[in-house]
Structure 1
Amino acid sequence: MDFLGHIKKHFGTGNYEGDQFGGASGGDGSGLPDGSPTNFMFATGIECSYPTINGGKTRRDQLRECGHYDRYKEDIGLVKELGLKVLRYGLPYHNIHLGPGKFDWEFADLAMAEIRRQGITPILDLMHFGVPDWVGNYQNPELPVLFAEYCAAVAERYPWVRYYTPVNEIYVTARHSAKDGLWNEQLRDDRSFVTALKHTVAASIMGTQQLAKRRNDLIIIQSESAEYIHEVRAVPSAEIRLHNELRFLSLDLLYAHAPIADVTLYLLDNGMTRDEYNWFMAGQPPGYQVMGNDYYGRNEQIKLPDGKLFSSMDVLGWYQITKEYYNRYKKPVMHTETNVFEADDAPMWLWKQWINVMQMRRDGTPVLGFTWYSLIDQIDWDTGLAEENNRVNACGLYDLDRKPRPVAEAYKMLLKEFGQITIVPYGQMLEITDRPARIKVDA
């Protein structure tokens, strides 16, 4: 009798006792997320942008425009219905922080209580493209101090929250406000851009300090746009070379990563002092830091030899571009935003993004989560909120009537297939600790 015969005689022909604990009949990672600390974080988000336009006269509030203030219970219920355990959620900073030491928590308390009741883990987004009217705009040098007060108040109000995005898309915030002239101060020059950028990064750092003081095991998921311009020229222009370096600038300052010489000179030429630069380079913010990369096909552009610029729809894709960011900062990664505006194309875009995530995981890069952004359709994002057209962008898992779009079913299918995978293979051994963040080393 051969060895297999002896095994069959003593133990049978498979389904051996004990195999359910990670052996041949162990779990394959399928099934809806069960809330385990090692679960890969599948998420959605509720669009909450609130920049001003028209010289500060008009407030674009997507929570209002998309009906969330009136339907927050229904929206949070949809997250639960999908089988998701994680929600990127932005409190309306402009409505809560009424002045120094003054806060209105009425809506925030209702929404946060419902999120907690439904057993959903929020990634709390504290500044999303705008500031309260009384703060002014991103040229205000008091912003880091004023925002730090707000962060402290939020952490004290909701001590059960652990995950935060202090400032959403810092680079986009500064660029659209002070370089592209779309929002808030609506300026169009390099000096104003550098001013907005340094104030916003400093606000994120000081806000994180206040959060960590009150929640020393906090996890910061920094959501930043992953971008690139492909210039189709034999000799790339200095302008585009600089643009492709400036996209790193917010994270360079946030993570104390020295920019290349050309970018450092650009900063110093446009108003950053040596003392300010040294302050940013002194060290990283506290807490466990995760680098979230937002990727839309329109993030990649092609510039032709005649100067025309076109959206290119994933020439490199999230994987290749995020790999650049990962190699630069060596931070755990999360895919923090994606969508397309065409509802019929959305399911395939979802699968393409997921394949990018899977490839990143196979390469050994720690990817903590994936987010379809957003839960419901948005308004006027085809013009970057710069025009009041009241045009619905069909990019949500649900439309504005809260009816599912095809991508909702695709996301449910993805969750059923992969919902219980761990952040890294055998990640059960590496549960997210509740100990305070302490050690930061590159070794």
Structure 2
Amino acid sequence: MKQKGFLENIKKKFGDGNYEGDQFGGAGGHDGSGPPIDNPSNFMFATGIECSYPTIQNGTVRRDQLRECGHYDRWQEDLGLVKEMGLNVLRYGLPYYSIHLGPGKFDWSFADLAMAEIKRLGIIPILDLMHFGVPDWVGNFQNPELPIHFAEYAEAVAKRYPWVRYYTPVNEIYVTARISGKDGVWNEQLKTDKGFVTALKHCVAASIMANQQIAKHRNDCVIVQSESAEYTHELCATPSFQTNLDNELRFLSLDLLYANPPSATVAMYMMDNGLTREEYNWFMAGKPPGYQIMGNDYYGRNERIKLPDGSIKTSMDVLGWYEITKDYYERYRMPVMHTETNVFEADQAPIWLYKQWVSVLRMRRDGVPVLGFTWYSLIDQIDWDSQLAVVNNNVNACGLYDLNRKPRPVAEAYKSLLKEFGQITIVPYGEMLEITDQPARLKTQV
């Protein structure tokens, strides 16, 4: 008599699959699909509400995107749309320039309303404290008193909203400094290397001191430093010194923020343009407190091709978020978040979203801890095709919803991603590795 094989015995005793207990991470376990859940290990799917407020025309015009895009009038509706999307995380910027009226003086009237609604809806805010502008009384990014004034504001926010844990103290420091101090478009509108270095060191110092003040009141704070992922390709047999320098300077804000010594070329450039040895040593003392996440913003517009005649072309996704962010990760070895992306063409937005998500999945498969992804922004923006330099009132169709709060095709595409991947964990086996609620303690990652 032929002896039964093990599989026949198992089927006779336990049935043909769907075994009791398999649902707990076995063959019948959950695959990570379904809308995001409120769990510390859940991958952070997010959107953001565009909140830039630089000045142009020698400080006479304030480009407040919260006003121009109607958020001050429709904030409840906008926050409701975040939940309608099925999202639990929102990059949200309070208008620093209009809240901080002077030393020790604040106007919380709008902020209190919006923050109360965010809390009521159960949205996790990544609170953006400075987004391309400062209050009129501070002046601009050349003001050496900016770090102390901004630190006062950051502490006031942390004390007023103690339930907030996630912060971006200063959004896109490199972009802020370059467009204000080197490109001559925003705020001080300078076109000098010294203007750039001065703005950058003041913004990094402001971020560090704000981080310190936040940690005093929230010692488990999570800092998501959103920075632009940049690269310039030069189609010359011998690339120019300036292009090579620019491709090094894209790291400078994070080098100073994370106490990573820059190259000798960059160090000399900074010293030539106003950074003192004492200031350099201060930046190199160590990383800011709390849990630090390196956020990389990638738009196709960030990647450029420089032709032999010196002209610049937007290259759109030659290396892409994956390759460029990998450079940043290998430099800093910090947990990563894809903190901004979009395109201006509404019909192209779904495929751009899918491409970004493929990059995120590939990065995760390669062992890089990617904690979140953000489509930026929730609603359309205005005049970003000219970097807010000119008041054209041109609508950029890059939102999940248009300015009438009607969904664009990318909203449905994002919902499809959430349906398929919404409950994946921030890293494999993330249920075992939740973001702790204990105070930050370790000085370095091991």
Within-5 A mapping of 1:134-213: 134-213=137-216
For 1:317 and 1:287, how far apart are their aligned partners in 2?
Answer: 30
For 1:4 and 1:173, how far apart are their aligned partners in 2?
Answer: 65
Secondary structure at the aligned position of 2:170 is classed as: coil
For 2:419 and 2:259, how far apart are their aligned partners in 1?
Answer: 40
Secondary structure at the aligned position of 1:164 is classed as: strand
For 1:192 and 1:87, how far apart are their aligned partners in 2?
Answer: 33
Equivalences, count = 443
Secondary structure at the aligned position of 1:43 is classed as: strand
**Structure 1 residue 418: deviation in Å?**
0.2
Q: Which amino acid aligns with 2:134?
A: V
2:324 to 316, 321, 325: 321
Deviation digits for residues 51-80 of structure 1 (CA, Å, limit 9, x no counterpart): 000000000000000000000000000000
Q: Which amino acid aligns with 1:258?
A: P
Which blocks of at least 5 consecutive residues in structure 1 are unaligned? none
Deviation digits for residues 66-119 of structure 1 (CA, Å, limit 9, x no counterpart): 000000000000000000000000000011000000000000000000001111
The yes-or-no answer on 1:351 pairing with 2:354 is yes
Within-5 A mapping of 1:7-406: 7-406=10-409
Partner of 1:407 in structure 2?
Answer: 410
Q: Which amino acid aligns with 1:260?
A: S
Secondary structure at the aligned position of 1:126 is classed as: strand
Which blocks of at least 5 consecutive residues in structure 2 are unaligned? none
Q: Which amino acid aligns with 1:418?
A: F
Secondary structure at the aligned position of 1:389 is classed as: coil
Deviation digits for residues 240-298 of structure 1 (CA, Å, limit 9, x no counterpart): 00000000000000000000000000000001000000000011100000000000001
Q: Which amino acid aligns with 1:201?
A: V
**Structure 1 residue 441: deviation in Å?**
2.2
Q: Which amino acid aligns with 2:331?
A: R
For 1:193 and 1:90, how far apart are their aligned partners in 2?
Answer: 24
Secondary structure at the aligned position of 1:371 is classed as: strand
For 1:424 and 1:198, how far apart are their aligned partners in 2?
Answer: 34
Q: Which amino acid aligns with 2:153?
A: Y
Partner of 1:2 in structure 2?
Answer: 5
Structure 1 segments, 4+ long, off by >2 Å, are: none
**Structure 1 residue 306: deviation in Å?**
1.6
The yes-or-no answer on 1:417 pairing with 2:401 is no
For 1:438 and 1:202, how far apart are their aligned partners in 2?
Answer: 22
**Structure 1 residue 307: deviation in Å?**
1.3
**Structure 1 residue 305: deviation in Å?**
1.2
For 1:177 and 1:305, how far apart are their aligned partners in 2?
Answer: 27
Deviation digits for residues 289-328 of structure 1 (CA, Å, limit 9, x no counterpart): 0000000001000011121110000100000000000000
Cα RMSD after superposing both structures = 0.5
Secondary structure at the aligned position of 1:262 is classed as: helix
For 1:322 and 1:403, how far apart are their aligned partners in 2?
Answer: 33
Secondary structure at the aligned position of 1:407 is classed as: helix
Deviation digits for residues 121-144 of structure 1 (CA, Å, limit 9, x no counterpart): 000000000000000000000000
Secondary structure at the aligned position of 1:403 is classed as: coil
**Structure 1 residue 201: deviation in Å?**
0.2
Q: Which amino acid aligns with 1:326?
A: Y
1:433 to 419, 431, 436: 436
Secondary structure at the aligned position of 1:200 is classed as: helix
Secondary structure at the aligned position of 2:391 is classed as: coil
For 2:157 and 2:209, how far apart are their aligned partners in 1?
Answer: 14
Secondary structure at the aligned position of 2:137 is classed as: helix
For 1:401 and 1:75, how far apart are their aligned partners in 2?
Answer: 11
Deviation digits for residues 351-400 of structure 1 (CA, Å, limit 9, x no counterpart): 00000000000000000000000000000000000010000000000000
Q: Which amino acid aligns with 2:73?
A: D
Secondary structure at the aligned position of 1:36 is classed as: coil
For 1:9 and 1:440, how far apart are their aligned partners in 2?
Answer: 56
For 1:260 and 1:209, how far apart are their aligned partners in 2?
Answer: 27
Identity of aligned residues (%): 77
User: TM-score, normalization: structure 1?
Assistant: 1.00
Secondary structure at the aligned position of 2:304 is classed as: strand
User: TM-score, normalization: structure 2?
Assistant: 0.99
For 1:144 and 1:440, how far apart are their aligned partners in 2?
Answer: 23
Q: Which amino acid aligns with 1:101?
A: G
**Structure 1 residue 442: deviation in Å?**
4.4
Q: Which amino acid aligns with 2:28?
A: S
Secondary structure at the aligned position of 1:133 is classed as: coil
Secondary structure at the aligned position of 1:369 is classed as: strand
